[in-house]
C-alpha cells in the first residue's frame, strides 16, 4: 500500500566520519615534530587462495615530505609486485558499499497502488604513503630492494634484530615511537619484512598529483591478516579502519574478534536526511561503545555477481582488475552471470575503531561460504500529505504519531542522542500530545 520512491543518498563524509587517528597496518613516522593527523585508513584486501593484493589508502593531510609509512609484509616484494592505484577506485568502492539512506513516500491510503524505482548515489575518500633510504649493514639491517614507483620511494627491509632496525630508522631521520622496537621484533621473528615508503617529491611534482595515491602490493602468503599493532604504538586515541575484502567464495570475517552486523533496515526520522553524516558517525560511535569497542562491524556484504536492483553504480571489470581482482577476465564478466555487468566477486566491507587495549592482536581473517547480501540501510518514510478522508486515511493518520514516536526512539537508541531533542527536531510535541485525528471532522473541510 505504499508507493515507494527510493532515493539513495550519498554519504560522502561517512568514511571520513572517523575522528583522530594515526595509521593502520604501519605507522607514520614524522621527520619533524609536527603532529601528524590523519582520519581513516582504508585497506582493500583481494584474496583467493594464498594470493593477496593489498591496497592501502589513507587521508594524509600533512606535508608530503613528512609522510612515511612502515608496514610489515610477509614476503620479499619485487618491483613488479608494487603498483600505485588511482584514488578514484577507492572512492568508487567506498561509495558503492557505504551505508545508505533510502526514501519512501507513503501512498494515498484511499487509493493503493505500487511501483518503485531506484537511483544510486556515492561518495568516499582515499590517499597513501611513501619512502626513501639507504645505509648500514652493520646494524643488521638489509635493504633488500629499493624502488621508485609512481610518486613513492620504496624500500624493502629485513633485519636481524629489532634494535638494529630501530636504530637504522632513527639514524635515517624517522621518528620511531617509544615501544616500537618490541613490536618490530615480534614481526621480525615471524620472518616478516618491512615495506618502507616515502614520497619522492620530484616524481610527485612531475606526475602532478596534489594528494597521495593508494599503494598496492601483490604477494602470495598463507597469512590472511592485517598487521595493526605497529600503528597503535604511537596512536593518540582510537583509530579508524575500513577493510574491503574482495573474494570469490563469500563473506570475510575476523576469526579473532567478533564480527557484528551494523544495525540496519530501520526507519529513522526525516530530518536525518540533512544530517546523515553526523547520524552515521554518532551511530557508529554508539555501536562501538555498546560492544565495548571489541568488535568489527560488517557494513556491507554483497555478491557482485548479481544485483537486483543495483544499489549503487557497480564497479566495472576494469576497476576491479585495477584493485587487484586478478581472477577477473579482461574481456568481461562470465557468461553465466545472473546480471549483465555482474562480476565473480564477493565484497565485504568491515569497519572498526580500535586501540591497543581492545584490539591487542593483529586482525586475522577467514573467508566463509556465506553469500548472503547485507547492507547498512536506513529508511526515511514520508507520510502521505493528502486530504482525503476515507476510512483508511483516517486510520492511517491515527497511526502516524505512533510511527513518529517509534522513529524517535529508534534514532535515540541507535545514536545515543537525547530522545527529547529528537522529538523537538521532529516537531513531535503537538502530534504526540493531541493527535490531529481527534479534531472534529468539519474543522478540516474548508481548510486549504
Which chain residues interact with other proteins by CB under 8 A? 182, 185-186, 189-190, 221-225, 249, 253-261, 291-292, 294, 360-361, 364, 366, 368-372
By C-beta, is 144 or 370 nearer to other proteins?
Answer: 370
CB atoms within 10 A of CB 441: 9
Work out how close the CB of 83 gets to other proteins at its nearest, in angstroms, rounded to a whole number: 24
By C-beta, is 240 or 303 nearer to other proteins?
Answer: 303
By C-beta, is 274 or 361 nearer to other proteins?
Answer: 361
In total, the chain counts a number of residues equal to 448
By C-beta, is 78 or 190 nearer to other proteins?
Answer: 190
Are the C-beta atoms of residues 151 and 60 closer than 8 Å to each other?
no
DSSP per position, 139-179: TTEEEEEEEEETTEEEEEEEES-HHHHHHHHHHTT--PPTT
**What value, to the nearest 5°, has the Cα angle with vertex 162 and ends 158 and 165?**
55
Work out how close the CB of 329 gets to other proteins at its nearest, in angstroms, rounded to a whole number: 23
By C-beta, is 35 or 371 nearer to other proteins?
Answer: 371
Stated as kind and residue range, the H or E segment containing 102 is: strand 100-106
By C-beta, is 11 or 252 nearer to other proteins?
Answer: 252
Q: Lay out the sheet containing 363-367: strands in order across.
A: 225-226, 363-367, 252-254
d(CA 183, CA 337): 45
Work out how close the CB of 179 gets to other proteins at its nearest, in angstroms, rounded to a whole number: 10
d(CA 76, CA 74): 7
Write phi, then psi, for 229 (nearest 5 degrees): -70, -40
Question: Cell 620504496, residue?
Answer: 154
By C-beta, is 8 or 230 nearer to other proteins?
Answer: 230
Work out how close the CB of 378 gets to other proteins at its nearest, in angstroms, rounded to a whole number: 19
Strand stretches in 361-434, DSSP E: 363-367, 374-375, 377-382
By C-beta, is 67 or 224 nearer to other proteins?
Answer: 224
Work out how close the CB of 186 gets to other proteins at its nearest, in angstroms, rounded to a whole number: 4
Are the C-beta atoms of residues 54 and 43 closer than 8 Å to each other?
yes
Residue of 80, 83, 99 lying closest to 44 (CA atoms): 83
Work out how close the CB of 293 gets to other proteins at its nearest, in angstroms, rounded to a whole number: 12
3-state secondary structure of 431: helix
Are the C-beta atoms of residues 237 and 355 closer than 8 Å to each other?
yes
Q: Lay out the sheet containing 100-106: strands in order across.
A: 116-119, 2-7, 100-106, 377-382, 266-267
Work out how close the CB of 225 gets to other proteins at its nearest, in angstroms, rounded to a whole number: 8
Work out how close the CB of 252 gets to other proteins at its nearest, in angstroms, rounded to a whole number: 11
Work out how close the CB of 122 gets to other proteins at its nearest, in angstroms, rounded to a whole number: 30
Note the Cα 279 to chain centre separation in Å: 16
Work out how close the CB of 134 gets to other proteins at its nearest, in angstroms, rounded to a whole number: 28
3-state secondary structure of 273: helix
By C-beta, is 186 or 394 nearer to other proteins?
Answer: 186
By C-beta, is 191 or 208 nearer to other proteins?
Answer: 191
Are the C-beta atoms of residues 72 and 193 closer than 8 Å to each other?
yes
Amino acid at each position: 500500500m505504499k508507493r515507494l520512491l527510493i532515493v539513495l543518498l550519498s554519504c560522502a563524509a561517512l568514511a571520513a566520519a572517523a575522528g583522530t587517528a594515526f595509521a593502520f597496518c604501519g605507522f607514520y613516522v614524522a621527520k619533524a615534530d609536527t603532529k601528524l593527523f590523519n582520519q581513516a585508513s582504508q585497506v582493500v584486501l583481494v584474496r583467493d587462495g594464498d594470493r593477496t593484493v593489498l591496497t592501502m589508502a589513507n587521508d594524509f593531510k600533512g606535508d608530503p615530505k613528512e609522510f612515511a609509512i612502515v608496514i610489515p609484509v610477509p614476503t620479499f616484494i619485487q618491483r613488479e609486485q608494487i603498483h600505485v592505484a588511482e584514488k578514484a577506485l577507492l572512492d568508487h568502492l567506498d561509495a558503492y558499499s557505504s551505508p545508505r539512506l533510502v526514501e519512501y513516500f507513503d501512498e494515498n491510503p484511499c487509493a493503493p497502488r505500487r511501483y518503485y524505482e531506484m537511483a544510486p548515489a556515492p561518495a568516499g575518500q582515499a590517499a597513501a604513503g611513501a619512502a626513501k633510504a639507504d645505509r648500514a649493514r652493520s646494524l643488521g639491517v638489509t635493504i633488500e630492494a629499493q624502488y621508485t614507483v609512481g610518486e613513492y620511494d620504496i624500500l624493502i627491509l629485513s633485519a636481524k634484530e629489532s634494535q638494529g632496525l630501530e636504530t637504522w630508522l632513527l639514524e635515517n631521520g624517522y621518528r620511531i615511537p617509544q615501544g616500537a622496537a618490541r613490536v618490530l621484533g615480534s614481526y621480525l621473528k615471524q620472518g616478516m619484512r618491512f615495506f618502507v615508503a616515502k614520497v619522492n617529491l620530484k616524481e610527485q611534482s612531475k606526475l602532478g598529483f596534489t594528494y597521495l595515491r593508494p599503494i598496492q602490493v601483490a604477494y602470495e602468503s598463507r597469512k590472511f591478516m592485517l598487521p595493526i599493532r605497529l600503528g597503535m604504538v604511537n596512536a593518540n586515541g582510537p583509530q579508524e579502519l575500513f577493510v574491503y575484502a574482495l573474494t570469490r567464495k563469500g563473506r570475510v570475517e575476523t576469526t579473532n574478534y567478533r564480527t557484528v552486523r551494523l544495525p540496519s533496515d530501520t526507519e529513522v526520522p526525516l530530518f536525518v536526511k540533512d544530517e546523515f553524516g553526523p547520524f552515521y558517525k554518532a551511530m557508529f560511535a554508539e555501536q562501538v561503545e555498546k560492544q565495548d569497542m571489541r568488535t568489527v562491524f560488517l557494513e556491507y556484504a554483497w555478491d557482485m555477481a548479481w544485483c537486483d536492483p543495483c544499489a549503487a553504480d557497480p564497479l566495472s571489470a576494469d576497476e576491479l582488475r585495477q584493485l587487484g581482482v586478478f581472477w577477473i577476465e579482461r574481456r568481461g564478466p562470465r557468461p553465466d552471470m545472473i546480471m549483465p555487468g555482474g562480476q565473480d566477486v564477493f565484497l565485504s566491507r568491515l569497519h572498526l575503531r580500535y586501540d591497543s587495549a581492545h584490539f591487542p592482536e593483529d586482525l586475522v581473517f577467514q573467508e566463509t561460504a556465506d553469500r548472503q547480501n547485507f547492507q547498512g540501510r536506513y529508511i526515511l518514510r514520508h507520510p502521505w500529505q493528502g486530504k482525503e478522508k476515507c476510512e483508511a486515511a483516517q486510520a492511517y493518520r491515527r497511526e502516524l504519531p505512533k510511527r513518529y514516536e517509534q522513529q524517535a526512539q529508534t534514532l535515540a537508541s541507535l545514536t545515543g542522542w537525547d530522545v527529547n531533542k529528537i522529538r523537538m527536531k521532529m516537531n513531535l510535541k503537538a502530534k504526540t500530545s493531541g493527535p490531529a485525528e481527534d479534531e472534529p471532522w468539519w474543522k478540516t473541510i474548508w481548510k486549504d
